[in-house]
Amino acid sequence: MCSRLARLFLCVILSFLVAFSFVACGFIGKTIYPLNHEELIRNYCDKYDIPYELLAAVIYTESGFDEKAVSRVGAVGLMQLMPSTAEEIAGRLGVEYNEDMLTDPETNIAYGSFYLRYLYRNLGENWDTACAAYNAGIGKVMGWLDNEEYSDDGVTLKSIPIDETRNYVQRVNKYKEKYKELYFNSEVSSHE
């Protein structure tokens, strides 16, 4: 009787520890991979037909969700937009441009998601290629796509010659899986 009770107690304790570890992993994961501005991310993903987890991963890779981030080359905000690129996007959107607006989360996500979708549409509808262009620039990526050393089909990059860009695309894909697992796993994305 005593050993049966001890086994039951041990099973209850183990079940509790397993359940706690799942909860703790989610909590720790969400601490490491935050999802600030979720409503804005969802709105602009829906507007521009971008997978939620992809946009979250790009923001995390670019700025770690730091609204005030400024890179050494002058890229600004959550999605690290260059002021010249943001000005061009504002023109395409038909809105007045003000560089001070780039630290505003809504403006930055609106411009960045518009630009990411623009790259996707203009580079063969491949998200990895669009992300490479988001990092390296559309001109460089178009050159790689035209080069058989880097692309077999003119749409997909089989290799990326710049380490920073190759690592960037790998990080975005890694974080995309984390964001899907932590925040968007139960949702069926129509934005694939």
Residue 6, pLDDT score:
59
How many Å is the maximal CA-CA distance in the chain? 79
35 contact partners, CB below 8 Å, separation of at least 6: 41, 56, 65, 179, 182, 183
Q: Which of 62, 125, 148, 164 does the annotation list as catalytic?
A: 62
CA dist., res. 88 & res. 103, Å (int) = 17
Task: For residue 62, indicate whether it is catalytic.
Answer: yes
Per-residue pLDDT of the chain (192 residues; tens, 9 = 90+): 567 665 655 555 554 444 444 444 466 888 899 999 999 999 999 999 999 999 999 999 999 999 999 999 999 999 999 999 999 999 999 999 999 999 999 999 999 999 999 999 999 999 999 999 999 999 999 999 999 999 999 999 999 999 999 999 999 999 999 999 999 986 655 455
Question: Three-state SS for 192?
Answer: coil
